[in-house]
Each structure stands twice: as structure tokens, then as C-alpha cells.
Amino acid sequence: MVCASALSLQFGAAVAALLFPVAGALGTVAMRLVFAAIIMLALCRPRLRGHPRGDWAAAVGLGVALGGMNSLFYQAINRIPLGPAVTLELLGPLVLSVISARRALSFLWAGLALAGVYLLGSSGFEELDFLGVGFALAAGATWAAYIVLNARVGARFPKADGLALAMGVAGLLSLPAGLVSAGDALLDPRILALGAAVAVLSSGLPYTLDLLALRRLPKATFAVLMSLMPVAATAAGFLVLRQRLGPVELLAVALVIVASVGAVRTTPGRQPAAEVAP
């Protein structure tokens, strides 16, 4: 599930980058989230009544995290290549894994990941675009929040009902800025069709797979399995966007991946996150 989610998400992001020149980053985010919300709400048909306040707080919180994560990430890949953007964003889940695992060896893997990020910047953060780096790091923080909140929503709602409600919240939050950014592009059927494809590839399918995976895996393990993301992103950036990375950048991505794999192998066995979430 995690492997399929990573591939779907990153190839969807690569396709989304093709929409930036005509719809803008925020317009593309809005199309992605609104279409994904419509699809998921239609398929899941979640019950709106009878949920306690805690359930709604978790669903709305996940929606806010989804909206923020997608908006920040798309602003990042509008400025820097997809592979480095995901590598920087991965620091959020990695920090979460260190905090969740609470083992001394976890700090070794965190240090190795930081070394990878340093190498990524040693060729010149100005070449990557400083603002793009900032957006990627902020997206990483919201990614960590997404993991925690997705686990809680999966524990509180049946099937993917909670995720569908959260997608509705994210779509509503992203719509105003998206309308301003995209403008007349939203009247083009081809642009709307690509937006719908991005919604399925980058939101509907991967987020559903993440929710199901989080019912079977501890949050710490899931967080470091996100090491697959830079691999998928680099492949998608090369195949779809023709983006190439130099040896130093590839080494930096590899260090973050090794750190994440090491953290997975040293994470103690724990209950799946969905079983222990309050």
C-alpha cells in the first residue's frame, strides 16, 4: 500500500507541475482537492450526523493539514525540482519517527538525514531557490501532522468516511485562492480533465492507501517508510518533467533514504497507530 501510494502521489505531482503555467500552483491544488473531495464523498457517502465533537475535530484537523500540505508542496515544486523538494519535505515524517520511536539510535538516523540535506544545499541553496526550500520544509511539518491526524481519523471513522469528510474541508479551504490563481483556465475542459486525473493520482488513491496502511502500521514505521517518496519523486521528475539531478544531489537523496531505512529496521514493534489513537 505504501509503495503504491508513493508512486501514485509523485507521478500525480509531476503531472500537476505541467498545469502550473496555465492554472498556477494554487489553482492546481484547488482542482486536485476539490475533484478528489467530490469523488470520495460520492463513493463513500459518509454519515454527517451522530459523530461526537472529537470525531469532527479530527476530520477538520486532517482537512486543514491536507490543504496546507498540498498548497505548500505545490509552491515548492513550482520553484525547485521534484526530487529535492520531496527530500526536504521528508524531514517532517523523519522527525516524527524519531520522536515516536524514542530511541537513542534514532538520532543517528536523523543526523544522517540532516547530512543529506546539507549536501543538497552545499551545491547552493540559492540554486534551488531559497523560498522553494522554505515551502518544502513547511510542507514537511504539515506532512507529519497529516500522518498523526490520518491515524486518528482512521480509528474514529469506518472505512474511508473520515478521509472523505477531511477532503471536503481541504477542498473548501483551497477553493478561494484557487479560483483567483487559475481564473479562466477553469473553463478549459482539457485543464479540468487533467485536474481530475491529478486528483485521483495525487489525492484519492494515495490518501486512501495511506489510511488503510496506518491501520496496520505504527506511526513511526509508516513515517520512515516515506523514504520511498524521494525515489518515486526523482523517477517521476525525470520521466515526466525531464528533470535531472547531479551526483551531489543524488547522494543527498540517497543519504536521506538510507537514514529512513535504518530507522525502519531499528523501530521496535508496536501496535498499529489506528489501534492506539485516542
Q: List, for residues 192-201, the tens digit of each pLDDT value.
A: 998 999 888 9
The grid coordinates listed for 258 are 538510507
Q: How many folded domains does the chain comprise?
A: 1
Domain encompassing residue 81: 2-276
Q: What is the pLDDT of residue 7?
A: 85
Q: Which amino acid is at 182?
A: A
pLDDT at 55 over 90: yes
Query: Over 60: is that where the pLDDT of 277 sits?
Result: no
Q: Read off the C-alpha cell for 102.
A: 524514542
The span from the CA of 109 to the CA of 202, in Å, is 28
DSSP state of 217: S
The pLDDT value recorded for residue 164 is: 92
Best CA proximity match to 168, nearest among 40, 28, 58: 40
Q: Can you give the pTM of this predicted structure? A: 0.74
Higher pLDDT, 24 or 128: 24
